[in-house]
Structure 1
Amino acid sequence: MTTLTKLEPAPVIDETARLLTEHYVFPEVAEQLAGLLRRRLAEGAYDVEAAEELAGLVTADLQSVNGDRHLRLKHHVDPVPTKEGAATLESMRRDFDASLGGAPRVQLLDGGVAVVELAPMLFPLEWAAEPLSAALTLASRAQALIVDLRANRGGDPDAVAFVCSYLLDERTHLNTMYWRRGERSEQSWSLPHVPGARFGGSKPLYVLSSTSTFSAAEELAYDLQQLGRAVVVGEPSRGGAHPCQGWTVHPHLEATVPVGRAVNPVSSTNWEGKGVQPDVPCAATDALDRAHALALARLAG
């Protein structure tokens, strides 16, 4: 492990390359990328003094082959723990405590239309079940619902299924994850029962997206869209469909490597690289007003 006072790129690159070849969901691409990183290291491309600068250079190279936005070398201002996934978890906990558990806004608009904002993440369900349940139960009596994901950058797939459970009437197959480790698959379904009250599967539902909407937030929008349950309003999302894990490779650097891929049971594909395409395209700043107008028109009709 390198020290805080001097950045030594070689150990960082060697460990990142090892993690790629052992864990990346696409083994052939992993070999390409590991070779690219080692070649760039030998060329002197990573001879920089700042960990943040190295993170930017390596991330650009990691995403240069297949554009996988989950494949990153992330810089952390504060020193990060060495335990796998701990760096991301610490950062998420700070955001959780500062955002009312990831449901910072529940609002009733004119005409009986509710807005539930889920941001900045869909947090681990062992933390977030209570605030998510409270927000969705409060909105369950609305005539129409707008779920605002414009500032949501991802999170826990189990939280996606939990939220979907409030927006559907029956237990429904939402997504399947295919993992590299053990070459196994894992299906995600909505829950047969939820704490609190469901909004249900028949009242008008709209999901707001932006170019910042990412990862698990994209899955939430995509699952509901593919089921024909929600109308997505706003901008195409960022396009990251591969769940990842993080490893500390330097006191201020974390390598995040996708270990699986998502396959939707309706479309037989996912949103990787292209994002969730809105049903009603508009600027993200206009999406709430647009969805509200659509909801009022549908309720009037």
Structure 2
Amino acid sequence: MAKALCLVASLLLVGSVFTHAEFSPSLIVDMAKIVLDNYCSPEKLNGLKQAIEAASSNTEILNIPDAETLANVLSSGFQTTISDPRLKVSYEPNYVAAVAPELPPLPPEQLVAILQSSIKLDVLEGNVGYLRIDHILGEKVAEKVGPLLLELVWNKILPTSALIFDLRYTGSGDVSGLPFIVSYFTEAEPVVHIDSVYDRLSGATTELFTSSALLGERYGTTKPLIVLTSKNTNGIAEDVAYCLQSMKRATVVGEKTAGGSMKLNKIKVTDTDFYITLPTAKSTNPITGSSWELTGVTPDVAAEVEDALATAVAILNLRAKVPAIVEGSAALIADNYAFEAVGADVAAKLRGMLAAGEYGTVSSKTGLETKLSSDLSTLSGDKSLKTTISAPVQPPMTYSPEMFVELVKLSFQTDVFENNVGYLRFDMFGDFEEVKAIAQVIVDLVWSKVVDTDALIVDLRNNLGGPTTAISGFCTYFFDADKQILLDKLYDRPSGTTKELWTLSDLTGPRFGSTKSLLILTSGATAGAAEEFVYIMKKLGRAMIVGETTAGSSHPPQTFQVGETGVFLSIPTVHSDTAAGPAWEGVGVTPHIPVSAEAALNTAKGILNKHLGGPK
């Protein structure tokens, strides 16, 4: 009722400007009756009757001397009250109702001329069909011109590999043409419920289905279909676009459509020259449960009207390359993924998704990469198997001795707690050659502060990994020099070789040794090379792990280009020895003492304090 009062307010505001009554008090009531009896959504009319009665009983409203001004005021009031800009009041003394002309019998040459003027078609580069229709033909007309449509239009479109259906300029049409058009892009069976049309005048709801019998062949359900739209796409053309979009049969490219009506009626107000134009029928899509009316059809890919065709061509060019990209990705994974059985399974499922059309709706290279990356991670359970970018190789950095010192200070944190418990934190593993070059600096500035403690906490809760080339050297510090120890075996899938990791015989600086207590802190963020270190130390019984299960990522993946495309894959190619059971890749390393990452340090300190005799 509050919204309905907007009508009264708008009428009173304008009515107060005039002083001479011109119109019958029944005029507004008669208009309201037309709206109440014919508007397509009666549930939106609550309160309208009371507002009209209040407005018509106020003589100031009818003091407006100009009929067109009154019509505009009433239009604004109705539109505001019902929230529907399609409802309009007009004053038209010379109005003559238009009658849709019947298509008379015409000689073939005239029918050809009519069709050629209203339908435009072309076959673009890459065997892409282009079809523009500016009026949706009704079923009866289509039946009359059907053979010519097949000969002049459809039979030229059928052999194309993809179709651009241009509705940017289509503002009129017959609802009976909706199932006629949509059916050509579906299978014959089963028929599909595509629309429900409620007609207020009859009170009946008509359900529209695709047709199982058509003149000529269908375009089918697998070839790419793009529908172009603009803000001028209106009425039945919007319904066509919305149906094909809702069925996921077409990608809509362009501008948001007009948000028009399934059916508009213009009704004369009693014996006056006032008319009310209003929607008397409404569409409800059975898939979405909603409608394109008022709101318009939102495109899948937005583009300015003049750019829509070029955008559609670019999308189709990309889709033509998609099968090769997906197939190339499957082959690379099958041949290179660290775990052969998993790689073969992922490749097979990826090919199945391609065959099922799951990659048929990608609209951009970014969208393709995002979907492919998500699918690879989901199918493999490996977050490291994904699409990536090809980063250019950077030249090695040249550091001065002073820069090395600052770099080490920023990269490591150390402390010594009560009971002579050392603490060492670093958040990334470095490449062996780079670390080797500054090993003495690390020993002097970092290692020397904790190596002589009675126990050590190594904090890897924020360590994201890095190269695994320094793993052997770092592990060696926690074993004795009297013998070499086999740390792990790493299988490299592309080469089919296995590399053994052993402790080193030569080290820079002193060892921590194998007898003093070592606790390692972990979290769900601990990844890659850090997990390999935790896995080795736990497997060999050299450390107690405190915190959360690690990320379950992988050894550093390699980057592969998919054919000659600009798509690149990040593929883990190496896995730890699984002869004695599953490694850490994909599952993570489970701690001995499971606690939250936040509580891990205090838990570790408590364990060591108790072991070493309590705090001093």
TM-score (norm 2): 0.41
Alignment of 1:97-176 (within 5 A): 100=408, 103-119=411-427, 121-129=428-436, 130=438, 133-134=443-444, 135-170=446-481, 171-176=484-489
The amino acid that maps onto 2:583 is N
In the other structure, the counterpart of 1:3 is none
Return the offset for 1:28: 4.3
Is 1:60 equivalent to 2:367 in the alignment? no
> Which of 1 and 2 has higher RCO (CA within 8 Å, sep 6+)?
1
2:384 to 67, 70, 75: 70
Secondary structure at the aligned position of 1:194 is classed as: coil
Distance 1:49 1:243 in 2: 29
Return the offset for 1:25: 2.7
Return the offset for 1:110: 2.7
In the other structure, the counterpart of 2:539 is 226
In the other structure, the counterpart of 2:299 is none
The amino acid that maps onto 1:209 is T
Distance 2:486 2:601 in 1: 28
Q: Is the 8 A contact 1:176 1:263 kept in 2?
A: yes
The amino acid that maps onto 1:138 is K
Distance 1:127 1:225 in 2: 27
Query: CA deviation digits over 1:210-250, x for unaligned, max 9?
Result: 00111211111111111111110000011134552123559
Q: Is the 8 A contact 2:559 2:571 kept in 1?
A: yes
In structure 2, relative to structure 1, the CA distance for the partners of 1:165 and 1:28 (3 Å cut) is closer
Identity %: 29
In the other structure, the counterpart of 1:193 is 506
The amino acid that maps onto 1:127 is E
- RMSD, aligned CA: 3.2
Distance 1:256 1:98 in 2: 32
The amino acid that maps onto 2:418 is D
Return the offset for 1:27: 3.8
Secondary structure at the aligned position of 1:25 is classed as: coil
In structure 2, relative to structure 1, the CA distance for the partners of 1:286 and 1:98 (3 Å cut) is farther
Return the offset for 1:191: 0.9
Q: Is the 8 A contact 2:466 2:556 kept in 1?
A: no
In structure 2, relative to structure 1, the CA distance for the partners of 1:197 and 1:54 (3 Å cut) is farther
Distance 1:32 1:264 in 2: 19
Is 1:43 equivalent to 2:358 in the alignment? yes
Worse-matched range after superposition: 256-265 or 231-240: 256-265
In structure 2, relative to structure 1, the CA distance for the partners of 1:14 and 1:200 (3 Å cut) is same
Query: CA deviation digits over 1:25-44, x for unaligned, max 9?
Result: 33443344334445545433
Secondary structure at the aligned position of 1:105 is classed as: strand
Alignment of 1:177-188 (within 5 A): 177-188=490-501
TM-score (norm 1): 0.79
Distance 2:610 2:566 in 1: 51
Secondary structure at the aligned position of 2:378 is classed as: coil
In the other structure, the counterpart of 2:336 is 23
Secondary structure at the aligned position of 1:233 is classed as: strand
Distance 1:194 1:205 in 2: 19
- Structure 1 residues without counterparts, runs of 5 or longer: 1-5, 91-95
Q: Is the 8 A contact 2:387 2:568 kept in 1?
A: yes
Q: Is the 8 A contact 1:102 1:118 kept in 2?
A: no
Query: CA deviation digits over 1:17-63, x for unaligned, max 9?
Result: 34223322334433443344455454336614363x54442222112
Return the offset for 1:197: 1.4
Return the offset for 1:128: 2.2
In the other structure, the counterpart of 1:93 is none
2:529 to 191, 216, 219: 216
In the other structure, the counterpart of 2:602 is 289
The amino acid that maps onto 1:124 is D
Distance 2:448 2:528 in 1: 25
Q: Is the 8 A contact 1:241 1:262 kept in 2?
A: no
Q: Is the 8 A contact 1:209 1:233 kept in 2?
A: yes
In structure 2, relative to structure 1, the CA distance for the partners of 1:103 and 1:144 (3 Å cut) is farther
Secondary structure at the aligned position of 1:288 is classed as: helix
The amino acid that maps onto 2:425 is E
- Structure 2 residues without counterparts, runs of 5 or longer: 1-313, 397-403
In the other structure, the counterpart of 2:592 is 279
Distance 1:290 1:110 in 2: 14
Distance 1:138 1:252 in 2: 49
Q: Is the 8 A contact 1:101 1:128 kept in 2?
A: no
In structure 2, relative to structure 1, the CA distance for the partners of 1:141 and 1:64 (3 Å cut) is same
Distance 2:519 2:589 in 1: 14
Q: Is the 8 A contact 1:176 1:186 kept in 2?
A: yes
Secondary structure at the aligned position of 1:145 is classed as: strand
Q: Is the 8 A contact 2:346 2:380 kept in 1?
A: no
Return the offset for 1:187: 0.5
Query: CA deviation digits over 1:258-278, x for unaligned, max 9?
Result: 21220168x443123321111
In the other structure, the counterpart of 1:80 is 391
